[in-house]
Amino acid sequence: MCGIVGFTGRRAAEPILLAGLRRLEYRGYDSAGVATIDSESRLVVRKRAGRVAALEELLSQSPAAGECGISHTRWATHGPANDLNAHPHIGGAGRVAVAHNGVIENHAQLRDELTRLGYVFQSQTDTEVIAHLIAQELKKDLDLFSAVRAILPRLEGTYGLAVVAPCEPGVLIGARMGSPLVVGLGDGEHFLASDSSAIAPHTQSVAYLQDGEVVRLTADEFNLEHLERGSIVPRVDRIDWKPDDRELGGVPHYMLKEIYEQPNTVRDACRGRIRRGEATAQFGGLNLTAAKLRRVRRIVFAACGTSLHAAKIGEYLIERCARIPVEVEYAGEFRYSNAPLDDRTLVFVLSQSGETADTLGALREARRRGHPTLAIVNTVGSTIAREADGGIYLHAGTEIGVAGTKSFAAQVVVLSLLAIYLGRLRHMSFTAGLEAIDAIESAPEPLQKTLAIEPLVVAAAERIANSKSVLFLGRDVHHPVALEGALKLKEISYIHAEGYPASEMKHGPIALVDPETPCVVVAPRGPLHAKTMSNIEELKARRGVIVAVGTEGDRELERRADVFLPIPDVPEIIQPLVAVVPLQLLAYHVALLLGRDIDKPRNLAKSVTVE
Ligand code: F6R
């Protein structure tokens, strides 16, 4: 989603800002811009709709000189993606430039007020009001920091802000309310970013801003204040950064690279978490004793998208292994639903990015109501990770493809281990615990084998690529796998796809079945296999085209399917982990055949920081 990068120091800002924006590209955006203060204290602004490459092209013709500046990638909320709506926005005819992440909910009121004062708006964005409000304060002879501070209480909604002004060259202001912002501390220079990955190549010393904090940065100074509590001493953390984290290494897309990383993802998610001697799992950061966990009577998982599908798999596994009732809630609904939760309910949120606004909102709502809140998160140091009472990191490494793949695998592994841990605190036997652990630890091998069926998946993709709509079906724990397969396909190929329990077909969706609407059925061997086979017969009777993901050697299924995608015969607990791989590859190859922008699909963002 929107990204911010700022810099102040003693070297050219433009290359640093551009490189930072490039590192944020994976988050999804539709326009980009920079604003710098040049050596003659003039404000230079360059913006372009489209990719950072288009901005780069513009800058190659008209550079933005200066050693202090801000930059932004915008994901349109108010007004379409065009040059005028791109950030930074200018206030008071060149007095100040502002880049903003978040949404200002009272922008219409503020716009009316500023229009009455004579300000002329260039864009349709909510952000431009911030720029004019600051300009108005600067007219009162306030310094830039005081001017920003003065207007913040007037903003309703969420913001991460970066501000520069020609009246104070070399000064970079940041402010945070609900939208992440981090300061990078360099040697005689400072950085500001919405995501530490944007500045990580320059410095690994960072200070995360909290809501209500405003920062003033120059090359040598770093002053931090809270809007109500005044001056504060920043807490500096170190981030991990590996220079090769983002190399494609010859693979054409990040999505494909990340699909292929999944055997390792499983190993990393298991590392240090298995206590074989006691046939259980362990988690360092849960911050809840075994005695407290034994008292838990209900678990609520709140998440969005792919993380929600992983949570649904967790629901089956925990209910099966630990017999604790689990409910999975859309995070964006949970926070407003006022669902009854008793004092023995444990609330988990799941998020790859750790920044999803809906999921953060659910976490805050659960905490407000006095529940211990736990998070299953990939991004270390993210807002959700920092605000939860305890949690589990996925250790999946940076996921760059907008479509979640390896993070899903890591979530499923962590949830499987959690199911075993909770089960072993109750009535799961030593033998059952050990069998489940063995299955999870052995998963990398069948995953590797499944990746090898990619050529068969290409054949399936060819059957699907011209369809207008595709149905994904599965029973039991394979229903969330089907949901995930449908989500992957629609996200990156733009083909309409829906996931259903196979049993539900006859209650309506079967009306859609015809030779032009393929059905992808997830049907590995298991207790409900015969039932799914009957559902396949029902589809075939309506001339449905069947792409089946099933256990290798399942001749009966192979005979009935138009395309059969075999996965190894694995224990039930890891079937979802393995069965989702052909569906990820299927979405990838359909998108490839259709020439889609696989790693940056239209309209989508990697980290959805607006509600
Ligand atoms: C799908 C996808 C999204 C995210 C959702 C939640 O491929 O990536 O559906 O899963 O936006 O994101 P996180 O997990 O970062 O909270």
Please check the confidence at residue 388 and state whether its pLDDT lies above 90.
yes
| Ligand 1 atom index nearest CA of 308 | 10
Whether ligand 1 lies within 6 angstroms of the CB of 535 is answered as: no
- Angle, helices 478-493/305-322, rounded to nearest 10 degrees: 170
Average pLDDT of the segment spanning 274-283: 95
Q: Report the C-alpha gap between 412 and 222 in whole angstroms.
A: 41
Whether ligand 1 lies within 6 angstroms of the CB of 332 is answered as: no
Closest CA to 403 of 22, 3, 28, 2: 28
Torsion sign (Cα): 333, 334, 338, 340: positive
Q: Report the C-alpha gap between 414 and 109 in whole angstroms.
A: 46
Please check the confidence at residue 380 and state whether its pLDDT lies above 80.
yes
What is the 316 CA–ligand 1 centroid distance (Å)? 20
Specify the pLDDT at position 280.
97
Please check the confidence at residue 227 and state whether its pLDDT lies above 70.
yes
Specify the pLDDT at position 372.
85
Average pLDDT of the segment spanning 506-512: 90
pTM for this model (two decimals): 0.82
More confident residue, 132 or 343: 132
| Ligand 1 atom index nearest CA of 384 | 16
pLDDT digits (tens, 9 = 90+) for 565-588: 999 999 999 999 999 999 999 999
| Ligand 1 atom index nearest CA of 306 | 10
Strand partners, 96: 91
What is the 606 CA–ligand 1 centroid distance (Å)? 7
Whether ligand 1 lies within 6 angstroms of the CB of 608 is answered as: yes
Report the Cα 41 to chain-centroid distance in Å: 38
Nearest CA to ligand 1 atom 11: 305
Antiparallel, parallel or unpaired: β 213-217 and 172-177:
antiparallel
Antiparallel, parallel or unpaired: β 390-393 and 373-377:
parallel
Average pLDDT, the chain: 94
| φ/ψ of residue 340, rounded to 5 | -70, 125
Nearest CA to ligand 1 atom 4: 305
Nearest CA to ligand 1 atom 9: 305
Specify the pLDDT at position 561.
96
Edge-to-edge strands, sheet with 190-193: 43-49, 31-37, 68-74, 3-8, 190-193, 182-185, 205-208, 237-238
Specify the pLDDT at position 176.
96
Edge-to-edge strands, sheet with 373-377: 326-330, 298-303, 345-351, 373-377, 390-393
Average pLDDT of the segment spanning 326-341: 91
pLDDT interval class at 10 (50, 70, 90)? very high
Whether the CB-CB separation of 74 and 123 falls below 8 Å is answered with no
Whether ligand 1 lies within 6 angstroms of the CB of 304 is answered as: yes
Domains annotated for the chain, with CATH where assigned, are 3-243 (3.60.20.10), 254-442 (3.40.50.10490), 448-606 (3.40.50.10490)
Whether ligand 1 lies within 6 angstroms of the CB of 404 is answered as: yes
Whether ligand 1 lies within 6 angstroms of the CB of 491 is answered as: yes
Average pLDDT of the segment spanning 282-309: 93
Average pLDDT of the segment spanning 296-325: 97
Cα separations in angstroms, 355 against 197, 341, 385, 387: 14, 24, 9, 11
Average pLDDT of the segment spanning 406-431: 97
Antiparallel, parallel or unpaired: β 68-74 and 3-8:
antiparallel
pLDDT digits (tens, 9 = 90+) for 69-113: 999 999 888 898 899 999 999 999 899 999 999 999 999 999 999
What is the 412 CA–ligand 1 centroid distance (Å)? 14
Coil/strand/helix, residue 443: coil
Please check the confidence at residue 1 and state whether its pLDDT lies above 80.
no
Whether the CB-CB separation of 47 and 32 falls below 8 Å is answered with yes
Average pLDDT of the segment spanning 42-68: 96
Whether ligand 1 lies within 6 angstroms of the CB of 351 is answered as: yes
Per-residue DSSP letters for 218-257? -SS-EEEEETTTEEEPPPPEE----GGGG--TT-S-HHHH
Whether the CB-CB separation of 279 and 424 falls below 8 Å is answered with yes
What is the 348 CA–ligand 1 centroid distance (Å)? 16
Specify the pLDDT at position 243.
65
Whether the CB-CB separation of 130 and 160 falls below 8 Å is answered with no
Torsion sign (Cα): 523, 527, 529, 532: negative
Closest CA to 128 of 150, 172, 168, 95: 95
Per-residue DSSP letters for 88-134? PEEETTTTEEEEEES-BTTHHHHHHHHHHTT----SS-STHHHHHHH
Q: Report the C-alpha gap between 29 and 400 in whole angstroms.
A: 13
Whether ligand 1 lies within 6 angstroms of the CB of 383 is answered as: no
139 C-beta neighbours (distance < 10 Å), count:
12
Closest CA to 70 of 114, 10, 28, 20: 20
Report the Cα 214 to chain-centroid distance in Å: 26
Instruction: Please report, rounded to a whole number, the percentage of residues in the chain having pLDDT higher than 90.
Output: 85
- Terminus-to-terminus CA distance in the chain, angstroms? 12
Whether ligand 1 lies within 6 angstroms of the CB of 382 is answered as: no
Q: Which residues are catalytic?
A: 2, 606
Whether ligand 1 lies within 6 angstroms of the CB of 403 is answered as: yes
| Ligand 1 atom index nearest CA of 605 | 11
What is the 150 CA–ligand 1 centroid distance (Å)? 36
Specify the pLDDT at position 611.
78
pLDDT interval class at 341 (50, 70, 90)? confident
Angle at alpha carbon of residue 83, lines to 80 and 85, rounded to 5°: 50
pLDDT digits (tens, 9 = 90+) for 232-274: 999 999 887 766 567 787 889 999 999 999 999 999 999 999 9
| Ligand 1 atom index nearest CA of 304 | 6
Average pLDDT of the segment spanning 368-376: 91
What is the 491 CA–ligand 1 centroid distance (Å)? 11
| Ligand 1 atom index nearest CA of 359 | 16
Average pLDDT of the segment spanning 196-204: 92
What is the 403 CA–ligand 1 centroid distance (Å)? 7
Nearest CA to ligand 1 atom 3: 305
Q: Is 34 exposed, middle or buried (0-12, 13-18, 19+ CB in 10 A)?
A: buried
Whether ligand 1 lies within 6 angstroms of the CB of 305 is answered as: yes
Nearest CA to ligand 1 atom 7: 403
Whether the CB-CB separation of 78 and 125 falls below 8 Å is answered with yes
**Joined tokens for residue 440:** 């999870």
